[in-house]
């Protein structure tokens, strides 16, 4: 039986895959590996959709090996990607 936390993550899976076009945020390779930028061990806030991205296997390994460095990089790339995806560059001054 899945934990409640894992059930919540599964519910947002399709939305995350759609948001990131089934592609790694770092290199653009097709992928379905969803990564929590801030680790789940940091509490329930880490389960939010705003904390999840798609990474290929290589970048997923990198994110786990370099957790502190990867958090800042992934948060920044996530924000820029979504701003561009939804055409909000003029709204935020990019």
Q: Provide the residue ranges of all domains of the chain, joining segments of one domain with +.
A: 4-86
Is the pLDDT at 48 greater than 80, yes or no? Answer: yes
Tell me what the mean pLDDT of segment 19-43 comes to: 94
Tell me what the mean pLDDT of segment 3-19 comes to: 83
Tell me what the mean pLDDT of segment 5-26 comes to: 88
Q: β-strand 33-36 against 52-55: which pairing, if any?
A: antiparallel
Q: How far apart are CA 58 and CA 64, in angstroms?
A: 10
pTM as predicted: 0.84
Q: What is the mean pLDDT of the chain?
A: 90
């Amino acid at each position: 039986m899945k934990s409640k936390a894992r059930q919540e993550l599964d519910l947002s899976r399709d939305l995350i895959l759609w948001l990131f076009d089934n592609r790694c945020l770092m290199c653009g390779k097709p992928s379905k590996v969803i990564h929590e930028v801030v680790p789940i061990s940091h509490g329930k806030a880490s389960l939010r959709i705003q904390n999840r991205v798609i990474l290929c296997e290589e970048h997923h390994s990198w994110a786990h090996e370099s957790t502190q460095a990867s958090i800042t990089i992934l948060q920044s790339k996530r924000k820029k990607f979504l701003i561009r995806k939804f055409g909000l560059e003029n709204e935020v001054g990019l």
